[in-house]
Chain A
Amino acid sequence: MPGWLMLAMVLVVAGAGFWLGQRRAAGFVAELGTRVGVVHSRPNHHGWFVAAAAFVPALVVIIVWAMVGDRVVGAAVEAELPPGTVPEGSLERVAFLADVKGVARGTFAAGFNPATEAAAAIWRAVEGRYSLLAGVAAVALALMGALWALTRLAPDFRARTRVEGLVMAVLILASTVAILTTLGIVISLVFESFRFFQLVPVTEFLFGTQWSPQIAMRADQIGQSGAFGAVPLFWGTIFIGAIIAMIVAVPLGLMTAIYLTQYAAPGFRAVAKPMLEVLAGVPTVVYGFFAALTVAPLVRDLGLWLASWFPLLDPDTVTAQSALAAGLVMGIMIIPFISSMADDALTAVPRAMRDGSLAMGATTSETIARVLVPAALPGIVGGVLLAVSRAIGETMIVVMAAGLAANLTLNPFDSVTTVTVQIVKLLTGDQEFDSPKTLSAFALGLALFLVTLMLNIYALSVVKRYREAYE
């Protein structure tokens, strides 16, 4: 019996339970009247209670079957086959059983191993037997649940409270998913990083200035020493995300917000704000090729032109993949983020402040510079910190425009690399999970995660404290 059929049958039972429960409760109301307190819960609550009692236990059975079913069937098939049909090795055994399952269900035309044909017939029979058992169990449990619930119904039965409790349980479950996922991510990062730090000392990772993760595959290979000093990566990340991007985004975003909140006519604001939000919705890969194909060549030409005037700038360091190109485009990407945070902060300053200043004879720009921006500053700073944490975690633009060379340089025309770029580079393609090269990606990820986490926590606390000041 396929899973969808089990689910459908259980739903039918639950639906019938709902109807019966509701009918039964409607009977109480007809008998005892509608006065408050005589019949504790509304008929719908009784209905939902019965439906839930039928559905929830049966659903558990269906989910468990979906998770362990294949393994149970596999083991049973193996037991029924003549000894020696299933290969010995663990990998071969799994592959054989997968083949058998595929052939049995018709997703594979034919198995790799001719023995699968015979085994598939057995699989079909066994699976039919076991799934029927599971289906019957689920439906029986649903029926029992519904009957049990129906016997509980009485005029003073508190179905309403039970249903409320169930709703709460579902909501708690839903909100736990995100939290547990975060926890899982952290644990996996910490675990793999720990393995990395067993191979490479923490001090080398945090303070080393040489990054070259290539590891020799043969003993006599040269130039593949493997150095894991992440400082050039951290610097590249900060240089692009926290310096160049912010030099672009903070003034532009702030001025945009000031114009939109203080000067713009309501009609213009109504058009301009959604347009900015559209900018925030552009996929970062689009920014990425804009950076790589349009901005980067312009920046390179500018760099070469500057190099012809200033001997200090070595033309050899002007590359097509530059920190400046990636930082500029990332700054553009961040503008809507900063402007919307600053917009919120400025609008949160009470109108009374603005009126008070204007009534003193201050002009609009004096009011903004002397009253509104200082009052909104914590909110604006919090917004900028959130933007920084977003920028340093941004991947696509830097992958496409910043390059891979781990240079420790102040020259914006030179290419630098970032933590995110290196993670992408280390984890795409074939990897072996016992080499420090692959594991270093997790250490980088952990470092990035910790920094952005702390930035976010600090920024949110700044924003929150500021909000409270104006309650």
Chain B
Amino acid sequence: MSVDMVNVAGREADAGRRPPKMTARDVHVWYGETHAIKGVSMDISMDDVTAFIGPSGCGKSTFLRCLNRMNDTIDGCRVEGRIELDGHDIHAPSMDVVQLRARVGMVFQKPNPFPKSIYENVAYGPRIHGLARSRADLDNVVEQSLRRSGLWDEVKDRLSASGTALSGGQQQRLCIARAIAVDPEVILMDEPASALDPIATAKIEELIDELRGRYAIVIVTHNMQQAARVSQKTAFFHLGSLVEYGNTRDIFTNPREVRTKDYITGRYG
């Protein structure tokens, strides 16, 4: 039995609400002189899919990228405030960014499979982190990840074909398989379906629903219906501030803030 499956069994045994997986307190982000995120605080739960919504440029993607420190790769980007994963500060010197990103995976807006075979794409993470002891072990991880991302039946006969030869929707599910192959605890998705057609989008949404509970999932989306369909918690960002954060049902049916209501009903954005 792989390490991965032990973890899953452990998680599912925990039936009730679990403590927040990630917490953010008073997070600020600057790009050079631009104040992109202004004091955002939030808890992210293992039990929910959390959706970030808001008009373009509101900072939702920027905040998402804070959670696995991908903003470190952008020149001139400065992050302040405290972000914790299981109670440990992710900016602490003792926190290795390599391990953080292995625990907090990410799926990007545009499918970005590596120009390698399907197998090698999924095996990439397990290889660099040494998660598989043998070839058989690695085969197993690859199969599990592809099954979990719903791609196995479509690609099992052509694992050595190039990942870039798949359709857009398949590529995105390959990227999700790649992310879950290292058995992360959190998966960040930055508009994962915005470059896909409606059928591929529906598959991604189904997949997100199936993965819920196993991973803490955060999804940035421009699509209000999508947020309503897949998420249990919704955060509405506007001009770099977190305007409202709560249960998705409440946000969509009975928002507390006027700005939230205006955005959801299509007044602006």
A283 within 8 A of B: no
Across the interface, name the chain A residue whose C-beta is closest to B97: A361
B30 close to chain A: CB less than 8 A: no
Report the Cα distance A263→B146, complex, angstroms: 34
Q: Which residues of B contact A362 (CB under 8 A)?
A: 98, 124-125, 128
A97 to nearest B CB, angstroms? 70
B residues less than 8 Å from A114 (CB atoms):
none
The reply on B182 being an interface residue by CB < 8 A is: yes
Partner-contacting stretch, out of B38-46, B110-118, B212-220: B110-118
Asked if B99 is at the interface of the complex by the 8 Å CB criterion, the answer is: yes
Contact A359 B128 (CB under 8 A): no
Q: Does A363 contact B (CB under 8 A)?
A: yes
Q: Which residue from chain A places its CB closest to the CB of B101 in the assembled complex?
A: A361
CB-based contact A357/B114 at 8 Å: yes
Nearest-neighbour CB distance to chain A for B175, whole angstroms, equals 7
**Residues of chain B within 8 A of A469, CB atoms compared:** 115
B112–A350 contact, CB under 8 A? yes
- Measured in the bound complex, the distance between the Cα atoms of B175 and A147 in whole Å is 73
Q: Do B112 and A356 touch (CB < 8 A)?
A: yes
A374 close to B (CB within 8 Å): yes
Partner of A355, one of B73, B100, B182: B73
A375 touches B124 (CB 8 A): no
A341-358 interface bits toward B, Cβ cutoff 8 Å, 1 = contact, 0 = none: 000000000101111111
Is the CB–CB distance between B182 and A360 below 8 Å? Answer: yes
The CA-CA distance from A363 to B106 in the complex, in Å, is 15
Chain B residues, CB < 8 A from A358? 70, 73, 101
Tell me which residues from 229 to 243 in chain A have a Cβ below 8 Å from any Cβ of chain B: none
Instruction: Determine if A353 and B98 form an interchain contact, defined as CB atoms under 8 angstroms apart.
Output: no
Given the complex, which residues of B lie within 8 Å of A366, measured CB to CB?
128
Nearest B residue (CB) for A265:
B75
Contact mask for chain B residues 54-85; partner A; CB cutoff 8 A; 1 contact, 0 none: 00000000000000101001010000000000
A306 in the interface, Cβ–Cβ < 8 Å?
A: no
Q: Do A360 and B178 touch (CB < 8 A)?
A: yes
The answer on a CB contact under 8 Å between B179 and A360 is yes
Check B112–A355 contact: CB distance below 8 A.
yes
The reply on A370 being an interface residue by CB < 8 A is yes
Let me know if A359 and B75 touch, CB within 8 A. Answer: no
A137-175 contacts to B, CB under 8 A, are none
Q: Given A352-B112, A374-B115, are A361 and B102 also a contact pair (CB < 8 Å)?
A: yes
B108 near A: Cβ within 8 Å?
A: yes
Q: Are B98 and A363 in contact (CB under 8 A)?
A: yes
Q: Is the CB of A375 within 8 A of B115?
A: yes
Contact of A370 among B70, B102, B128, B129 (CB under 8 A): B128
Asked whether B105 is an interface residue with its Cβ less than 8 Å from the other chain, the reply is yes
B153 CB, nearest partner CB in chain A, Å:
24
A356 to B182, CA, bound (A): 13
Q: Which residues of A contact B129 (CB under 8 A)?
A: 361
Q: Could you tell me if A361 and B116 are in contact, using CB atoms closer than 8 angstroms?
A: no
Complex contact A370–B124 (CB within 8 A)? yes
User: Is A462's CB within 8 Å of the partner chain B?
Assistant: no
Q: Are B112 and A360 in contact (CB under 8 A)?
A: no
> Is A266 part of the contact surface with B, judged by Cβ < 8 Å?
yes
Interchain CB contact under 8 A, B105 and A359: yes
From known contacts A352-B108, A352-B110, A370-B128, infer whether A360 and B70 are also in contact, taking CB-CB under 8 Å: no
Which listed residue, A350, A352, A359, A374, touches B116 by the CB 8 Å rule? A374
B contact residues around A375 at 8 Å (CB):
114-115
Would you call A371 an interface residue if the criterion is a C-beta within 8 Å of the partner chain's C-beta atoms? yes
Given known A-B contacts A360-B102, A361-B102, A353 and B114 have beta carbons under 8 A apart: yes
Which residues from B are CB-within-8-Å of A355? 70, 73, 108, 112
What A residues does B106 contact at CB under 8 A?
359
Contacts of B128 in A (CB 8 A): 360-362, 366, 370
CB-contacts of B108-139 with A (<8 A): 108, 110, 112-116, 124-125, 128-129
A361: chain B residues within 8 A (beta carbon): 98-102, 125, 128-129, 182
Contacting residue for B125 out of A265, A353, A360, CB 8 A: A360
Instruction: Report the bound CA distance from A360 to B124 in whole Å.
Output: 8
Complex CA distance for A122 and B68, rounded to whole angstroms: 94
> Could you tell me the distance between the alpha carbons of A355 and B188 in the complex, rounded to whole angstroms?
13
* Closest CB in chain A relative to B107 CB, distance in Å: 8
Within 8 A of B (CB), among A2-25: none
A332 to B: closest C-beta gap in Å: 31
Q: Is the CB of A356 within 8 A of B114?
A: yes
Q: Could you tell me the distance between the alpha carbons of A266 and B32 in the complex, rounded to whole angstroms? A: 14
Question: Which of A265, A266, A357, A363 is within 8 Å of B124, CB to CB?
Answer: A357
Contact A356 B175 (CB under 8 A): yes
**Nearest chain A CB to B76's CB is how many angstroms away?**
9
Smallest CB gap from B111: residue in A:
A352
Residue of B73, B114, B175 near A371 (CB, 8 A) is B114
Q: Which of chain B's residues has its CB closest to A366's CB?
A: B128
- Which of A353, A356, A360, A469 has the largest number of chain B CB atoms within 10 A? A360
Residues in A with CB closer than 8 Å to B102 are: 360-361
Tell me the residues in window 239-269 of chain B with beta carbons closer than 8 Å to chain A beta carbons: none
Within 8 A of A (CB), among B18-66: none
Q: Which residues of B contact A374 (CB under 8 A)?
A: 115-116
Residues on A with beta carbons closer than 8 Å to the beta carbon of B112? 350, 352-353, 355-356
CA distance A362 to B110 in the complex (A): 19
A54-91 interface code vs B (CB 8 A; 1 in, 0 out): 00000000000000000000000000000000000000
Most central of B75, B113, B114, B175 by chain A CB within 10 Å: B114
CA distance A469 to B108 in the complex (A): 20
Residues of B within 8 A of A354 (CB): 73
Instruction: Give A184 to B55 CA distance when docked, in angstroms.
Output: 63
In the assembly, what is the distance between CA of A375 and CA of B112, in Å?
A: 12
Given A353-B112, A370-B124, list of 15 further CB < 8 A pairs? A265-B75, A350-B112, A352-B110, A356-B112, A356-B113, A356-B175, A358-B101, A359-B101, A359-B105, A359-B106, A359-B179, A361-B102, A361-B129, A370-B128, A375-B114
Seen from chain A, the residues whose Cβ lies within 8 Å of a Cβ on chain B are 265-266, 350, 352-363, 366, 370-371, 374-375, 469
Chain A to chain B contacts (Cβ below 8 Å), 24 pairs: A265-B75, A352-B108, A353-B114, A354-B73, A355-B73, A356-B112, A358-B73, A358-B101, A359-B68, A359-B105, A359-B179, A360-B102, A360-B124, A360-B125, A360-B128, A360-B179, A360-B182, A361-B98, A361-B99, A361-B101, A361-B182, A362-B124, A362-B125, A371-B114
> Can you list the 8 inter-chain pairs with the closest CB atoms, starting with the nearest?
A361-B102, A352-B112, A361-B101, A359-B106, A356-B112, A360-B125, A361-B98, A375-B115
